[in-house]
Amino acid sequence: MNTVIRYTDFAPHSRILVVSDIHGHADLLRRLLRKADYRPGEDYLILLGDLIEKGKESLGVLRAAMRLSTESPRVTVMMGNNDLWRLEQLIEPTPERDEILLHTTAAFTRYWGSSTFAEMCAELGIPCPTLAELPAVRRAVLDAFAPEIEFWRGLPTVLSTPQYLFVHGGLPCAEDALETLREENAYTCLKYDNFRGDLAARHAAPFSRPVIVGHWPVSLYRREITDLNPLIDRTYNVISIDGGCGLQRHGQLNLLILSPDAAPAYLALDDLPTVAALDDQTPSPHSVSLLWGDNTVSRLPDAPAERLGYAWCAHTRTGRQLWIPEDDLYTQGGQLSCHETTDYTLPVRAGDRLALVKEMPDAILVKRDGVVGWYYGRWQR
């Protein structure tokens, strides 16, 4: 599918709410819109792609997006790379896509508890098909879910207004060349990994209007402190909003609020349990954020102390030495790696509510206001 560009203009003095990378988290979307006091017909709402996969309710999010669109003409639902990837497997099959559809449906269901095609089959009361059964099952699915598929295939890649540009991944060209993207495969804009890093690498000029993107978890742009909140980058005029929902254990669903008369604001929600801190804690001055793509480590023999449940390690890129929970370490391709972690000591005030990410005998890994770190004080549920 080629890039689809849609042009529109927002009525003045209205809020614009943007949510990206919902990834099958229908309940979080519902709660987040309530938290933002979303007013259909008054507020603009942009769902910035990757509605499905990596959560338990892909079909639920797709249908919520349809309902929101039907309810108000001020809603724009946009395509994400996961959306297009799964859509093409359903409506433009090839032998290779058939294999991928069945393989990833099984793998995602194992890992995330659900997957779009599995949900469709389940709703029809049929088991996930074998390769031989797939053509007949696909026909049944396309027939039964015709309204969803029609909505899905109509999602635009780029939304351009006089004030803003919206796209799931990023824009591979300058603003004045936007129209040339219609000749490009939509994946160029949708699966645009590390958009801000690429803008820096190619010394891109800043955009004249804010470009709002999802897709690349914002925490990956922050190397010292794990911070999941939207990143407002004035160098390139890009606002990245993917909070890592469904992908990271500390991930959250972010909602960006653009108002004509105020600075950008945001809200966030996650599914983590919360605890109450009972002690104050001061932050550590230096820290490192170990996340996907930058998470290889090595074990060090000379630990400075005995610490139950942790390994004393060195982070490959920085050489920084830190404690990592033993059960967060794994080997991939012969290389020792770790799940999302940090050595940051979070600033905490007694009475703070903290989202509990991981519990260890002597500390808890927590998140407060979108920032992740360790808390060593007393706490209660």
Question: Residue 238 forms beta bridges with which residues?
Answer: 211, 233
Interface region with Mn ion, contact rule CB under 5 A, candidates 50-58, 174-182, 218-226, 369-377: 50-58
Interface region with Mn ion, contact rule CB under 5 A, candidates 207-215, 261-269, 294-302, 368-376: 207-215
Interface map 61-90 toward Mn ion (x if CB under 5 A): -------------------xx---------
Question: Residue 354 forms beta bridges with which residues?
Answer: 275
Q: How far is CA 269 from the centre of its chain?
A: 12
Which one, 80 or 156, has the nearer CB to Mn ion? Answer: 80
Interface map 99-138 toward Mn ion (x if CB under 5 A): ----------------------------------------
Distance in Å, CB of 207 to Mn ion, minimum: 20
Q: Quick check: 343 binds Mn ion (CB under 5 A)?
A: no
Rounded Cα gap, residues 342 and 7, in angstroms: 42
Which one, 193 or 280, has the nearer CB to Mn ion? Answer: 193
**The two structure tokens encoding residue 73:** 């003409």
Q: With 0-12 CB in 10 A as exposed, 13-18 as middle and 19+ as buried, what is 24?
A: buried
Interface region with Mn ion, contact rule CB under 5 A, candidates 22-30, 45-53, 172-180, 316-324: 45-53
Which one, 80 or 373, has the nearer CB to Mn ion? Answer: 80
Q: Quick check: 50 binds Mn ion (CB under 5 A)?
A: yes
Question: Residue 253 forms beta bridges with which residues?
Answer: 269
Rounded Cα gap, residues 371 and 380, in angstroms: 20
Identify the residue among 23, 56, 215, 339 touching Mn ion (CB under 5 A).
Answer: 215
Which one, 215 or 367, has the nearer CB to Mn ion? Answer: 215
Rounded Cα gap, residues 347 and 357, in angstroms: 16
Taking CA atoms, 226 is separated from 68, 70, 137, 291, 363, in Å, by 32, 37, 43, 8, 17
Would you tell me which residues interact with Mn ion (CB under 5 A)? Answer: 50, 80-81, 215
